[in-house]
């Protein structure tokens, strides 16, 4: 399951670079077309919208729509997944992945910022510039 989500992340990073900041993990639910990853990114209202988007994406990616969605962690065979709890597992995997990636990417972006340490609640030392 993680491999599929990682494949989806890689595809989203390539095609929609700001996707990571547009998905609300508190609302994320892969069993709901409005609240799944693609639903939040594309404003989907129902399964027909989801199918249309996946078919369009898959066509551009040269995949069959359902196999594309499953291979990239966006969906399963709906009947089997709903009854086996797979959507909940997939949702947890996406939430954990998004949370981890946000933390990693924020740290990566802030490595060039000046280091700040707070001493006695009042004194701030900018370590990067050496000033006191």
Sign of the CA dihedral 94, 95, 99, 100? negative
Arithmetic mean of pLDDT, 27-56? 79
Report residue 39's pLDDT band, with 50, 70 and 90 as the boundaries.
confident
Q: Two tokens at 116?
A: 């700040």
d(CA 10, CA 17): 10
Q: Summarize pLDDT for 83-124 with one digit per residue, the tens.
A: 677 889 999 999 999 999 999 988 766 555 554 444 444 444
Question: Residue 38's pLDDT is what?
Answer: 86
| 131: pLDDT strictly greater than 50 | no
Arithmetic mean of pLDDT, 9-15? 92
d(CA 111, CA 25): 25
Residues in the chain: 132
Q: Summarize pLDDT for 49-72 with one digit per residue, the tens.
A: 666 766 666 555 555 466 778 888
Q: Could you tell me which residues come within 8 angstroms of residue 69 by beta carbon, excluding any fewer than 6 positions away? A: 54, 58, 75
- 71, 62 in Cβ contact below 8 A? no
d(CA 48, CA 34): 11
Which pTM was predicted?
Answer: 0.69
Closest CA to 116 of 132, 103, 100, 102: 132
Question: Residue 76's pLDDT is what?
Answer: 77
- Give the whole-number percent of the chain exceeding pLDDT 70: 59
């Amino acid at each position: 399951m993680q491999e599929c989500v990682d494949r989806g992340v890689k595809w989203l990073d390539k095609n929609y670079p700001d996707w990571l900041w547009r998905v609300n993990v508190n609302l994320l639910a892969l069993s709901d077309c409005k609240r799944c990853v693609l639903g939040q990114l594309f404003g989907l209202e129902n399964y027909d919208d989801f199918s249309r988007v996946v078919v369009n994406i898959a066509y551009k990616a040269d995949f069959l729509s359902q196999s594309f969605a499953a291979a990239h962690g966006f969906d399963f065979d709906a009947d089997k997944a709903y009854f086996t709890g797979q959507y909940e597992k997939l949702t947890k995997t996406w939430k954990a992945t998004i949370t981890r990636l946000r933390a990693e990417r924020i740290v990566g972006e802030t490595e060039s910022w000046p280091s700040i340490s707070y001493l006695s609640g009042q004194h701030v030392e900018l370590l990067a510039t050496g000033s006191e």
